Chains A and B, each alone.
Chain A
Amino acid sequence: MFPADLKYTKDHEWLKPAGDGTALVGITHYAQDALGDVVFVDLPEAGAAFGQGEEFGTVESVKTVSELNMPSAGEVLEVNATLADHPEAVNEDPYGKGWMVKIKLTGALAGDLLDATAYQALVSAESH
């Protein structure tokens, strides 16, 4: 449910560093499950820059909407254009086809991101 090679935020985004100063960003399995069927993902334009924790988009499900916050400061290199027609990919494959933006990290990776074990603990605490 929570791959070990990802970093996580307390508000349920994940970040996958590629090792070349870029990273993919999406929302976790726990987040997509809480949202239910995703029907629209509002993403920024390539070139937009965001600080850590800044809102970079929204994800809308049938019943609710959630803000997307940037896990670590960066500039958007690419957005996942397939989500425009297939928002359900966020539910079906949150760590794969459901990725949202590819960013170029600004400076070092944020130090307060959680590893999979710490995130799992956070989620367990929230669900009980």
Chain B
Amino acid sequence: MSTSATELMKTPLNAAHRALSAKMVDFGGWDMPVQYPAGILAEHEAVRTKAGLFDVSHMGEIRVKGPGALALVEHMTPNAVSKLAIGQVHYTAFLYENGTFVDDLLVYREGEQEFLLVVNAGNSDKDFAWVQQQAKGYDCTVVNESPATGQIALQGPLSVSILQPLTKTPLEPIGYYFFTHGEVAGIKCLISRTGYTGEDGFELYCAAGDTEKLWNAVLAAGKPIGLIPAGLGCRNTLRLECKMALYGHEIDDTIHALEAGLGWIVKLDKGDFVGRDALLAAKAAPAPRKLVGFKTLEKRDIARDHMPVVQGGKQIGFVTSAAPSPTCGINLGLAYVPTDLAKIGGRIQIEIRGRAVDAEIIPTPFYKRTK
């Protein structure tokens, strides 16, 4: 609270957040809204039942284009890029040679040899340098479009109803993890049916200078049916309920893709890519630890990020993310535990402020939308 906001980076919506009386926090060097006056619980509920609007302009965008673009993206990421249709998106990662994470990201296929890579804000500079380094010897350009790009995320079951009146682009035919280009409220956008909340919704990318106009138009259109602005606080509880990874928590440069439960983005048979040898070796050996979902058994026992998992007074694992779940009404979390303990119904203990409390391993995702 005593942080000097002047040193933080600002999105094009900074003034809009302040006008909405948002509570601003330092999020990886960015001055971002953690919540608006409605509060995290109300914002979380709005996204699950109606809709919420997020500013995600802090995310990084890197464009890779040219005759060598496909080969480069195949080389730097474990998912099968050649299987992406133009207009399709997938979730993937940048891995180090040892299989651990530089970052996780979305890959948008804009053309046969053109890709938009969307990376985490806090890793944006590191990622851009990484891509530039990997791109040596590939015939393509690598451009950091982050400063020129704004992004907002409309999330929730009413997203189509809110957005359709603002655009001539038919939204219903856009499949989950597909995108198109069009105008929304007269502003040129990349319209992507993606998100980080487990609900239906759209991520809209536009020119930085158009972001505030777009934000205001979407907010005004949705307000009568329950759309409210939503901050990073509920973005975290929403993604946690759906077991979506967050860099610095479930994944980082000490955790490899298979133990993170992200084997589904690792296509070992697609040909060579950075980290493949390490992941092949990891797959052949028994995994020492695994990411599991848990709930604590007592209402008062609320686990938090980075708390130790203990057994007989010894640390055997750690919590990656944890919080009271607004949708499920239980205290849940994700943790790395030794593989022999990673069984549904099994018990583990979390150390909360010096006290070892019981938790049960339960199936994930904790929440899944019904349609």
Contact = CB atoms under 8 A, between A and B. Distances in A.
Interface of A: 33-34, 36-37, 39-40, 42, 58, 60-65, 91, 126-128
Contacts of A40: 299-300, 302, 324
A126 B40 contact: no
Given A36-B40, A37-B40, A63 B300 contact: no
Contacts of A34: 1
A9 to B, nearest CB: 17
| Residue in A36, A91, A126 with the greatest tally of chain B CB atoms within 10 Å | A36
Nearest to B236: A63
Contact of A63 (B1, B34, B299, B353): B34
Contacts of B111: none
Interface residues of B, number: 20
B311 to A, nearest CB: 23
A126 B324 contact: no
Given A37-B40, A39-B324, A65 B1 contact: no
A63 B323 contact: yes
A63 B40 contact: yes
B354 to A, nearest CB: 11
B39 interface: yes
B233 A127 contact: no
A65 B324 contact: no
Contacts of A126: 1-2
Nearest to A123: B1
19 contacts: A36-B23, A36-B35, A37-B39, A37-B41, A39-B41, A39-B302, A40-B299, A60-B302, A60-B324, A61-B40, A62-B40, A62-B44, A62-B233, A62-B323, A62-B324, A62-B326, A64-B304, A65-B302, A65-B304
B229 to A, nearest CB: 15
Nearest to B299: A40
Interface string B22-51: 010000000000110001110010000000
Interface in B1-23: 1-2, 23
A40 B330 CA distance: 12
B159 interface: no
A62 B327 CA distance: 12
Contact of A62 (B2, B41, B299): B41
Contacts of A61: 40
Given A36-B39, A61-B40, 5 more contacts: A36-B34, A39-B41, A62-B41, A62-B44, A62-B324
B237 interface: yes
Nearest to A41: B300
Nearest to B234: A62
Contacts of B2: 126, 128
Contacts of B300: 40, 42
